[in-house]
Amino acid sequence: MQAALFNFQSLLMVMLLLICTCAYAHSIFPGIMDRNKDGAFGIFWKFARIGERLSPYVSLCCVAMAVSLLIQ
């Protein structure tokens, strides 16, 4: 995981995966994530909110990331 922080493309991939995973988990278990809006686990609620509100842009970024990985 730490190596992903030094490579920009890997960092973007980790961020996209976190956003997608948190948005999916929030749709399945909304009560658990809504209870933890504050504190250390609040970051996951924020990622879920980004995934819900910006879902068309997040999906375009996921497609762009997949295409860029295929090209390499």
Q: What is the DSSP annotation of the chain?
A: -HHHHHSHHHHHHHHHHHHHHHHHHHHH-HHHHHHTSSSTTHHHHHHHHHHHHTHHHHHHHHHHHHHHHHH-
Percentage of residues of the chain with pLDDT beyond 90: 29
- pTM for the whole thing? 0.79
pLDDT of residue 35: 86
Positions in the chain short of pLDDT 70: 1-5
- What pLDDT is attached to residue 39? 83
Handedness of CA 49, 53, 57, 59 (dihedral sign): positive
Q: Distance (Å, rounded) from C-alpha 38 to C-alpha 46? A: 10
Average pLDDT along the chain: 86
